[in-house]
Amino acid sequence: MKYQGPYKIDGVAQNNNYIFTIRNGKRTYLANILKKYEEREPSPPLQPVVENACTGFVRHEEYEEIGIIMLEPKRKEYPKDVTISENSTP
C-alpha cells in the first residue's frame, strides 16, 4: 500500500465513504483505509560516522615500525576442541 496526502475531505458519500480531490479529480475512499495525517517534527540531519578513511597494505614486519597495534583474537575454542561423531561419513 502506498501512502499519499494529506488531502482535504470534500464531502461524505453514503455511509462511510469520503470524497477527496486528488490530482484534479474526485476520488471516493472507504473510511477503513484512511489514516489521520499527523505532522512530524523533522529529524536531525545525519552526521557522518567517519569523515575520512583510507586503506593500505602493510607487511607484518612493518607493524611496529609504523606504530600499528595488532590485537590477537581471544579464542575460546580451538580445532582440537572439536569432537567428530563416529557416525559421520567422510
81-84: which pairs have CB atoms within 8 A and are 24 or more residues apart? none
11: confidence class by pLDDT, cuts 50, 70, 90: confident
Q: Report which DSSP code applies to 81.
A: G
Contact (CB, 8 A) for 65 and 59: no
Q: Mean pLDDT of all residues in the chain?
A: 78
Q: Report which DSSP code applies to 43.
A: P
Q: Looking at residues 9-38, what average pLDDT do you find?
A: 81
Taking the model in full, what pTM does it have?
0.36
pLDDT value of position 1: 59
* Tens digit of each residue's pLDDT (9 = 90 or more) over 33-75: 777 778 888 888 887 777 677 777 767 666 667 777 666 777 7
